[in-house]
With several copies, the nearest count.
Chain A
């Protein structure tokens, strides 16, 4: 090593990114550029990634501040479909509220809500077809609640009671339903992102027409399996949609700890030649349109799409978390992309097909349904009071056939 003729050495220091606002600060996002609704172009689905770099750095938006749907991504859904979407989001929100309460009442150990980001899973679910498969995280209950998965089954699992479809083995909310295109959730972050790609490869290998959707949070994109998924999806052009839900927070850690400087999560796709779109995650219409574009691409054999949904985790990370310790309480109110439910409601009211009264009515009806499901579920038991599945089921299904050493352990346990 020779001594180059460069500047004198000077001490380095570690750059540790910090969010703009901490408890006590008054959040102000007015310096965050929010592109106008309708401004982003809509390319053909067979576009090359390098020709749409701009779409990875903007925010694709359809609904403007006055409740109009504008621009090339608008016009994908009719009023009935949108009304259904609003109802789906309301159901998720009411379900979450009810289950948060149940956890506080001691009926279960744990709950995680999707408050503020309901539009994403609810709109996304509409672009899938029967047989397609989601590889969700713990915040996509909207996929089940906007499909026909019974709420009482969800509750039975949340209560780990005797009717729990997973026999009390899994944490509450870590649902599984092949029939509803919902892969068994893992508590370990990011692992499912590459599994979804593998599932999509399986469909392609088999000459099938099914597609997969992988899901991940902003913080979890830092996990290495995000990279594995990108590498495999791009190499084999897997018919997969790679969904990044950027809700700004990973427990107490803001997105700057997973993302460098001015880059976006969407822009990670470009280094793999994967078309990448960044979308307003609180805009039901935009989410639907972008997801549909990606699904069409996948079905046409054009390969994967990376989508970053820009949203905000309005609630605590989970019932074990208290966000007031690390961010201002008013941050969601200041959040420039608003509330997805309110925005879609305003759109429908503007269209003349919805009203405040109908909104209240719809909410009441949903709350009644949820209360009814809850009464049903509680009959089957709750976590601490039981009844649960028989303790003997604990020893089953580790393998297809129970090997001798587990048989012996079960005998020893006397169940």
Chain B
């Protein structure tokens, strides 16, 4: 057991997976010799050789397309897209190929692969280093989408994703890489070394895909969140003093629908929080599922707190970010309704 940052735990997931399974290979832009611009793959090339961890040309369609071919061959590629914002040149390979190879070939071929990518804002990355594309992945049948919120989960979920026999989009909230953020951009953050979820086994383990985690039990209202927003929700709950149940979805698809339904049926109220733009964001699907599964238990309309419908602006990053103030306001509103 060690204290790890999220970067270290992600690295440890790849390291332990590569150690136990020769078919695991890691590649992407700058991930080889240098170890990735966020250093998630540091040391892997040295340890496992440049045929198992290597730099790729700057071509996201090539990264994903070649990973599909390798997966069809029998390997388990775990590739890095430098920022989630840059996954779109490879989106055709994801949405039309990786996602459908099992189905269209009736299991003759499969695409067990992981596409890792840093996601979300909070580092003044502007419109091209801050996007959260999870809803777009969730709309594509055949893909799985995972978004961890802490080092322990990140390692276990990434190991499970690498083991999984379907293509998994693994979104890493970059604001959490070095510390749990604690919801406010203008206050000091707790380092992972002081956070209980920064305690990570050194050996291989998995956290199953498709299971949400209840980060806080409560009776008054259910907050559905994932990634960075888990901490924003925690801050807002603490500040408002509302007895909310905070559910960290962890996996967007497959989704732990039963956990969501059970919680909302219990509380009768729900606030959904994500950083992505609002229209057709994953919050819309959550809203729809709550409508379908819990309508008769609802005492107030569900509220979405999300990024606004525009590119992530550079200077106004923190006005754009759905912070504790906005989430707190939603909590109060849903309780007053």
Direct A–B contact in the complex, CB atoms closer than 8 angstroms: yes
- Alpha-carbon separation in the docked complex, A405 to B293 (Å): 12
A224–B65 CA distance with the chains assembled, in angstroms: 12
> Quick check: which of A79-87, A117-125, A190-198 contacts chain B, the rest being far away?
A190-198
With A183-B72, A187-B126, A403-B254 given, is the CB distance from A394 to B57 under 8 Å? no
B61 at the interface (CB under 8 A from A): yes
| A97 contacts the other chain (CB 8 A) | no
B308 close to chain A: CB less than 8 A = yes
Q: Is the CB of A394 within 8 A of B319?
A: yes
On whether A258 and B279 interact (CB within 8 A), knowing A168-B314, A395-B308, A398-B103, the answer reads no
**Are A222 and B58 in touch, CB under 8 angstroms?**
yes
Q: Out of B34, B55, B309, which one reaches A409, CB within 8 Å? A: B309
Q: Which residues of B contact A252 (CB under 8 A)?
A: 30, 33-34, 55
Query: Chain A interface (Cβ within 8 Å of chain B)?
Result: 13-14, 16, 18, 22, 109-110, 133, 135, 160, 164-172, 174, 176-178, 183-184, 186-191, 194-206, 212, 219-220, 222-225, 227-229, 231-232, 235, 250-253, 257-258, 320-321, 325-326, 383, 388-389, 391, 394-395, 397-400, 403-406, 409-410, 413, 415
Kindly supply a per-residue 1/0 record for chain B positions 36-62, scoring 1 wherever the CB is within 8 Å of any chain A CB and 0 otherwise: 010000000000001110111111111
Contact A398 B310 (CB under 8 A): yes
Complex-state Cα separation, A109 to B92, whole angstroms: 25
CA distance A170 to B72 in the complex (A): 18
Q: Please, how many angstroms separate the alpha-carbon atoms of A231 and B141 in the complex?
A: 30
Please state if A110 and B124 are interface contacts (CB–CB under 8 Å): yes
Known: A171-B314, A413-B308. A201 touches B278 (CB 8 A): no
B193 interface residue, CB < 8 Å from A? Answer: no
Interchain CB contact under 8 A, B129 and A187: yes
Q: State whether B37 touches A388 (Cβ < 8 A).
A: no
Beta-carbon contact of B108 and A257 below 8 Å: no
A199: which B residues are within 8 A, CB to CB? 69-70, 72-73
- B241 on the interface (CB 8 Å rule)? no
Q: Which of B23, B105, B166, B210 contacts A184 (CB 8 A)?
A: B105
Cβ of A205 and Cβ of B51 under 8 Å apart? yes
Nearest 10 interchain pairs by C-beta: A198-B69, A168-B315, A187-B128, A198-B66, A202-B73, A228-B62, A252-B34, A194-B65, A222-B57, A403-B254
From the candidates B62, B85, B279, B310, name the one contacting A394 in the complex (CB within 8 A): B310
Per-position contact with A for B269-286: 1 when CB-CB < 8 Å, else 0? 000000000110000000
10 A-B pairs (CB sep. < 8 Å): A13-B51, A22-B33, A109-B126, A135-B69, A169-B316, A188-B92, A198-B69, A205-B70, A252-B30, A253-B55
- Bound-state CA distance A186–B278 (Å) is 23
Q: Does B97 contact A (CB under 8 A)?
A: yes
Asked if A195 and B65 make an inter-chain contact with CB atoms under 8 angstroms apart, the answer reads yes
The answer to whether B105 touches A406 (Cβ under 8 A) is no
CB neighbours (8 Å) of A188 from chain B are 85-86, 88-89, 92, 96-97, 128
Query: Cβ of B29 < 8 Å from any Cβ of A?
Result: yes
Asked if A205 contacts B34 (CB within 8 A), the reply is no
B308 close to A228 (CB less than 8 A) = no
| Least distance between B264 CB and chain A CB atoms (Å) | 16
A187's contact among B54, B69, B85, B254, by CB below 8 Å, is which? B85
**Contact for A195 among B68, B253, B320, CB less than 8 A:** B68
The answer to whether B68 and A198 touch across the interface, beta carbons within 8 angstroms, is yes
Evaluate contact between A176 and B106: CB separation under 8 angstroms. Answer: yes
Expressed in whole angstroms, the Cα–Cα distance for A251 and B319 within the complex equals 31
CA distance A235 to B27 in the complex (A): 13
A186, A253, A388: which contacts B97 (Cβ < 8 A)?
A: A186
**Hey, which chain A residues are within 8 Å of B125, CB to CB?**
109, 171
Say yes or no: B106 contacts A167, CB within 8 Å: yes
CB distance from A211 to the nearest CB of B (A): 11
Closest A residue by C-beta to B93: A191
CA distance A325 to B109 in the complex (A): 39
A325/B34 contact (C-beta < 8 A), A188-B85, A383-B124, A403-B210 known: yes
Note all chain B residues with C-beta closer than 8 A to A232: 56-57, 59, 62, 66
CA distance A403 to B69 in the complex (A): 25
Contact partner of A222 (CB less than 8 A), chosen from B62, B258, B316, is: B62
B190 within 8 A of partner (CB): no
Q: Is B144 an interface position by the 8 A CB rule? A: yes
By a CB distance below 8 angstroms, the chain A residues around B166 are 399-400
Q: Knowing A169-B313, A206-B73, A250-B58, say if A197 contacts B66 (CB, 8 Å).
A: yes
A232 to B128, CA, bound (A): 25
Given A202-B73, A231-B57, do A405 and B32 touch, yes or no (CB 8 Å)? no
CA distance A184 to B109 in the complex (A): 7
Given A191-B92, A399-B102, residue A406 in contact with residue B309 (CB < 8 A): yes
User: Assuming A169-B104, A169-B106, A187-B128, is B74 touching A202 (CB within 8 A)?
Assistant: yes
B117 at interface, CB cutoff 8 A? no
Residues of B within 8 A of A399 (CB): 102, 142, 144, 166, 254
In the complex, besides A167-B315, A389-B315, 7 extra interface pairs with C-beta distance below 8 angstroms are A14-B50, A16-B32, A205-B75, A219-B58, A224-B59, A252-B30, A257-B55
Q: Is B67 an interface residue (CB 8 A)?
A: yes
Instruction: For B23, list chain A residues within 8 Å (CB).
Output: 206
Assess whether B104 is in contact with A398, with CB atoms less than 8 Å apart.
Answer: no
Cβ of B71: which chain A residues have Cβ within 8 Å of it? 202
Q: How far is the CB of A411 from chain B (nearest CB, A)?
A: 11
B65 contacts A383, CB within 8 Å?
A: no
Q: Are A405 and B254 in contact (CB under 8 A)?
A: yes
* Closest partner residue, chain A, to B126 (CB atom): A171
Q: Is the Cβ of B89 less than 8 Å from the Cβ of A195?
A: no
A406 to chain B, nearest CB (A): 6
Which has the most chain A C-beta neighbours within 10 Å: B66, B74, B127?
B66
B69 near A197: Cβ-Cβ < 8 Å? yes
Q: Mark B78-104, 1 if CB is under 8 A from A, else 0.
A: 000000011011001100110001111
Q: B229: CB under 8 A from chain A?
A: no
